[in-house]
Structure 1
Amino acid sequence: MPASAATGDKAPPRQAATNGSATGSLIIPQIAIAVFTETEELARTAEAAAADRRLQRTRMTVHGGGLPAAIELYGKGPTPNLVIVETTAEDAALFAGLNALADVCLTTTKVVVIGHRNDVALYRELIEQGIHEYVVAPLDVMALITTIGRLYKSAGAQKPGKVCAFFGARGGVGSSTVAHNTAWSLASSFDSDVLLIDMDLPFGTAGLDFNIEAGQGVMEAISDADRLDEVLLERIMTQHGERLSVLTPPLTLTNAYDLRETDFNGLIDIARSSARLTILDLPHMWTAWVKRLLTDADDVVITAAPDLANMRNVKGIVDFLRSTRPHDDPPKLVLNQIGIPKRPEIKAPAFATAVALEPSLSIPFDPALFGNAANDGRMIGETSTRSPVARSFVELGRSLISGKDVSSSAKKGINSLAARLFGRR
């Protein structure tokens, strides 16, 4: 157990619990972690953390017995990269146990102690003795994951960017339109580098929507995964303005796109270090790699039309995400194409009740506005800068960056537009 180089005044023991959005972009490397617990509460927390998407690269095991069990186990074999021990011992027994653990630890092993006393003096002494972190119980899952992530964050390293997946409840509901306009609005309205990846490999529309020549950027990235780095990614993506980069699909029907679940891992890792926000425009299909990207994204935006089939599909998607992302914020719901003449539709409150998710935005049906923008290869914000719809995409992008919901003013603007267009009150 290496001695800590830090000396002097220390921060108090950490207690803060965090939510999913605050820890979504943590990158934890491929390490082995062992947790030794004394309480059932921490054991349950550690088991839940081991199953979380942020620790999917790690090999995490949970043992009972606390510090004595760790000493006994590692007296017979090598220690993992990180050992986390829970203790209720008093000072003398605690330091004796940690000294015994140090005798059997590799010098590269990091040690975290989870205690039950909020004692600054104890914290300082533990750090001076070489413990990498002291955390006060109880911890929730996010607090435990954040503690692990902090240990492996390089000093001065740039904060990794967020990844947001846009997915349509059905084909044709406008998920790509929402994704592309949100990406453009973010890059145009904020000082943020945005990367848009069109993942509809045979039929993607990013090239048409932005009026750019579509290369085979996505396939080049995943076909050359061993060579992929920030330099190669910059070469194969298309720049649209100063802040927006677009990675286009191959758009060829000569090949089948039967991809593996992990084929996009390298691309997503590089994207995180290249842009503040990466937007994945996912096709409406249900494959292993689509499910993986939805599960691993920091945020998910579901676009749906207000009818029964969309409502059923949204409920299924939301249920899936809640089961695979139990410690993340819920997805954001965009209801699109509201008010198509003569089409019966489910009102937003009833839709929200059925899927147990409030819409972040409800966008009115406006074929002239969206049709003209699409035919010109331009975004809504370019063709109608002051329209409530354009502002709504700005607010949706802001919410993805900040982790907060779309502002009430944006929702009010969209709703008032719908009222004017379709006579609603």
Structure 2
Amino acid sequence: MVTDDLGDRKLSRSNVEARMGGIEAAISHYQDNTTPQLVLLESDSDGPEMLKELDRLAEVCDPDTNVLLIGLPNDISLYRELMRRGIAEYLVGRVAPQQILNAVTAIFEEPGATPIGRSIAFIGSRGGSGSSSLGHNVAWHLGQEYGEEVSVIDLDIAFGTAALSFNVETKQTLEQALADPTRLDDQLLDRFLIEYDEHLRLLASPSNLNAEESMLTESLDRLLGLLRRRSSFV
């Protein structure tokens, strides 16, 4: 089941090693090997036996290692005892790969961290390839499908068509937003973003052949950071 999750982008940088044998095999292996950040265990033992095995595992595990346990007993007293022993999460019965992924994500989520939106880029191999139209339509559908805020940034400084595609007029453009990264904040961003509907916001390009195209990486990074903190998709 764990290997089913490896295609997910959240685990794209993870190194996963699968071994058979449950808790006993983990005890044997980690007696002579360093424990990783996360150990995922599956056990068919009853509650008391499981606790004994985990106590032995704790003797060979690094203190900072997170343990995610899958077991059969559905017992609130056992769950509380597992939490008291420092188990990061306990899942009961036959679990789906998505449940494991959600549990792993929750374990490594920073407490109080501000959720950030997902960034999606559309890049055409040449002019007229349709990447702009595709990006605009995907942005609109994301807003309609998920009911969350979507921000569209038109990075084609000279030939951008986002404002034309959405039939909006813009007074302030991406070029102005990137002019001075030290000025960028949430209040200034509100002035630059055009509200298309209740979900979609647009930051248009100047569509000017004489516009300055040398955008500072620092400016763009700050802009994307601000947008991803306020929008689910950028």
What is the TM-score normalised by the length of structure 2? 0.67
8 Å Cα contact 1:217/1:247 also seen in 2: no
Question: 2: distance between equivalents of 1:214 and 1:52?
Answer: 35
Question: 1: distance between equivalents of 2:14 and 2:54?
Answer: 24
**Structure 1 counterpart SS, 2:90:** strand
8 Å Cα contact 2:132/2:162 also seen in 1: no
Question: 2: distance between equivalents of 1:127 and 1:50?
Answer: 27
What amino acid sits opposite 1:239 in the alignment?
L
2:192 to 220, 235, 238: 238
Question: 1: distance between equivalents of 2:53 and 2:45?
Answer: 9
1:211 to 166, 169, 173: 169
Residues 116, 76 of structure 1: alpha-carbon distance in 2 compared, 3 angstrom cutoff: same
8 Å Cα contact 1:84/1:112 also seen in 2: yes
Say whether 1:148 aligns with 2:148: no
Question: 1: distance between equivalents of 2:29 and 2:99?
Answer: 26
Question: 2: distance between equivalents of 1:217 and 1:60?
Answer: 45
5 Å matches for 1:104-253? Answer: 104-161=60-117, 171=130, 174-175=133-134, 178=137, 193-198=149-154, 203-208=159-164, 209-212=167-170, 213-216=172-175, 231=185, 238-241=192-195, 245-248=201-204
8 Å Cα contact 2:186/2:226 also seen in 1: no
**Structure 2 counterpart SS, 1:69:** helix
CA displacement at 1:140 relative to structure 2: 1.4
Deviation digits for residues 264-293 of structure 1 (CA, Å, limit 9, x no counterpart): 999877643222x324xxxxxxxxxxxxxx
**Structure 1 counterpart SS, 2:79:** helix
Name stretches of at least 5 consecutive residues in structure 1 with no aligned partner.
Answer: 1-44, 221-226, 257-263, 280-425
Query: More displaced, 87-96 or 153-162?
Result: 153-162
Question: 2: distance between equivalents of 1:159 and 1:151?
Answer: 15
Cα RMSD for the two superposed structures: 4.4
8 Å Cα contact 1:207/1:248 also seen in 2: yes
8 Å Cα contact 2:154/2:174 also seen in 1: no
Question: 2: distance between equivalents of 1:241 and 1:173?
Answer: 19
Question: 1: distance between equivalents of 2:98 and 2:118?
Answer: 17
Partner of 1:304: none
Partner of 1:74: 30
Residues 97, 158 of structure 1: alpha-carbon distance in 2 compared, 3 angstrom cutoff: same
Say whether 1:90 aligns with 2:46: yes
Identity %: 27
Q: Which structure shows the bigger proportion of residues in strand conformation?
A: 1
CA displacement at 1:117 relative to structure 2: 2.4
Name stretches of at least 5 consecutive residues in structure 2 with no aligned partner.
Answer: 214-219
What amino acid sits opposite 1:278 in the alignment?
F
CA displacement at 1:49 relative to structure 2: 0.9
5 Å matches for 1:10-89? Answer: 45-89=1-45
Count, aligned residues: 213
